[in-house]
A = this chain, B = another copy of it.
């Protein structure tokens, strides 16, 4: 069997870049030598609590250096990190803890209240011990298939599902992403999106692997985020569209020094081309749209142009950048109909995205039924996302399978309607979903957040949609809200909208 350990990425970084600044978190500044020493100390402390290969350690943490260290300390021991969404209720946290059965729970002070039992602070394990020499710690031979992390999905009804990611999964993802984005030791990554979610957490490994630098914002706040990105000369980060939307609307956002910024990733939700344009005008850097899911470590596609796209004009390149993107290195991606046949690559035929590859989860924790249901007979994971694919191999998500609206015998993809709403100047955010309807089965409705100091009536927005959309796609009613309901990871929750 092959062995693969995520902890080895830090060992290599310490070997190659011992004096390089690895971590900047407020007053805390660690070189790679110091970072590795902290990790060894935490690992020794955790091992002293009789935690070993396969034992779970739950964490409820904001973004900070000690949470980063915890990723490597658990990996070093072969323990399994269970990062938990800090926005869940105590009841939801209890459900996850019951399923994960962790030997230790580590939580920030402000999240202790979410946990009924005893917890340790992130910096507590090993704090009373001297940092051990590398040789004094166990260095278990971990198979690539050894679980490294379990991410429990929230926001669905019923029992949470724990997505298992192996050392092999996470390592393969780090290396593929390094190759796709040409990450290297000069890169500085801002942990702004929650580290308890993979949209950010993958970078804990990839950035360490190349000897780059980690900087942190404990929790997202727009003005402070701009301040951090500029001050620390951040070169790359991944933000969810809601955050980007807020950043580009901050006063003076475009006037800062963005000369260090190299590439801005966004993912977790579709994004409108006009938002992409605004992002590029603000930060004057490459924009890469990503698509993925926890089950795939997470990236499946990126909207990186191919060499032949250099010849296209700016508008065409913008629309490529705003697409869901093309499969990343190592991923086998197909868009298939209900019989598993590839749909035509005409960017009109819709099918489900199914994927195979080294970054794909082996399945759900202690849940063979959910695991079996997630895969096709030939080993492809069903993503539940509907998309088209163009002749360039680039996919465009049209909807979550479960968010498709069936209205009067017609199929409505909610994102198409949302894109029209986003084109209206007054719309900050929009969510389109189906409401039960006695005549139509479902009727199309929308919830909208207006931009500050902008106004639009329901009738005006409906007319705006009707101008370019078929009648059956046009929302029958639009509700104005101050904020859209979100899952813990910041995605708009259509389930909560439907249930409200």
The chain B residue sitting closest to A327, CB to CB, is B12
Residues of B within 8 A of A16 (CB): 306, 326-327, 392-393
The A371-421 residues at the B interface (CB cut-off 8 A) are 377-380, 392-393
Q: How far is the CB of A336 from chain B (nearest CB, A)?
A: 10
Contact (Cβ within 8 A) B331 A145: no
The chain B residue sitting closest to A391, CB to CB, is B18
- The distance in angstroms between the C-alpha atoms of A236 and B307, with both chains bound, is 18
Q: Does A129 contact B (CB under 8 A)?
A: no
Q: Does A168 contact B (CB under 8 A)?
A: yes
Q: Give the dominant DSSP class at A's interface.
A: loop
Indicate with 1 or 0, residue by residue over A173-217, a CB within 8 angstroms of chain B CB atoms: 001101100101110000000000000000000000111000000
Q: How far is the CB of A59 from chain B (nearest CB, A)?
A: 24
Q: How far is the CB of A352 from chain B (nearest CB, A)?
A: 16
Q: Does A362 contact B (CB under 8 A)?
A: yes
Contact (Cβ within 8 A) A141 B362: no
Contact (Cβ within 8 A) B179 A332: no
Contact (Cβ within 8 A) B135 A2: no
Q: How far is the CB of A378 from chain B (nearest CB, A)?
A: 5
Pick the interface stretch among A120-128, A353-361, A422-430.
A353-361
Contact (Cβ within 8 A) B332 A393: no
Q: Does A369 contact B (CB under 8 A)?
A: no
User: If the complex has contacts A327-B15, A330-B175, are A358 and B182 also in contact, measured as CB distance less than 8 A?
Assistant: no
Pick the interface stretch among A3-11, A436-444, A488-496.
A3-11
Indicate with 1 or 0, residue by residue over A134-162, a CB within 8 angstroms of chain B CB atoms: 11000111101100000000000000000
Q: Does A169 contact B (CB under 8 A)?
A: yes
Q: Does A342 contact B (CB under 8 A)?
A: yes
Q: Does A455 contact B (CB under 8 A)?
A: no
The chain B residue sitting closest to A8, CB to CB, is B332
Residues of B within 8 A of A172 (CB): 171-172, 175, 358
Indicate with 1 or 0, residue by residue over A313-349, a CB within 8 angstroms of chain B CB atoms: 0000000000000110111110000000110000000
Residues of B within 8 A of A380 (CB): 141
Residues of B within 8 A of A326 (CB): 15-16
Residues of B within 8 A of A179 (CB): 175, 178-179
- The distance in angstroms between the C-alpha atoms of A172 and B182, with both chains bound, is 16
Contact (Cβ within 8 A) B2 A358: yes
User: If the complex has contacts A166-B2, A175-B179, A330-B4, are A144 and B358 also in contact, measured as CB distance less than 8 A?
Assistant: yes
Contact (Cβ within 8 A) A141 B356: yes
Contact (Cβ within 8 A) A307 B3: no
The A55-109 residues at the B interface (CB cut-off 8 A) are none
Q: Does A470 contact B (CB under 8 A)?
A: no
Contact (Cβ within 8 A) B393 A139: no
- The distance in angstroms between the C-alpha atoms of A380 and B141, with both chains bound, is 8
Residues of B within 8 A of A139 (CB): 378
Q: How far is the CB of A286 from chain B (nearest CB, A)?
A: 15
Q: Does A472 contact B (CB under 8 A)?
A: no
- The distance in angstroms between the C-alpha atoms of A472 and B297, with both chains bound, is 56
Contact (Cβ within 8 A) A144 B171: no
Residues of B within 8 A of A342 (CB): 134-135
The chain B residue sitting closest to A176, CB to CB, is B175
Q: How far is the CB of A125 from chain B (nearest CB, A)?
A: 23
Residues of B within 8 A of A2 (CB): 145, 166, 168-169, 357-362
Q: Does A220 contact B (CB under 8 A)?
A: no
- The distance in angstroms between the C-alpha atoms of A332 and B14, with both chains bound, is 12
Q: Does A312 contact B (CB under 8 A)?
A: no
Q: How far is the CB of A459 from chain B (nearest CB, A)?
A: 45
Residues of B within 8 A of A393 (CB): 12, 15-16
Contact (Cβ within 8 A) A329 B145: no
Q: Does A1 contact B (CB under 8 A)?
A: yes
Residues of B within 8 A of A359 (CB): 2
The chain B residue sitting closest to A12, CB to CB, is B327
5 A-B residue pairs with CB within 8 Å: A2-B168, A2-B357, A2-B358, A178-B329, A185-B306
Contacts A8-B331, A8-B356, A16-B392 aside, 19 further interface pairs with beta carbons under 8 A come to: A1-B362, A2-B357, A2-B358, A2-B361, A3-B357, A3-B358, A5-B332, A11-B332, A12-B329, A12-B332, A12-B393, A142-B379, A171-B172, A171-B330, A175-B179, A175-B329, A175-B330, A209-B330, A210-B329
Hey, which bits of chain A sit against chain B, CB under 8 A?
A: 1-5, 8-9, 11-12, 15-17, 134-135, 139-142, 144-145, 166, 168-169, 171-172, 175-176, 178-179, 182, 184-186, 209-211, 306-307, 326-327, 329-333, 341-342, 356-362, 377-380, 392-393
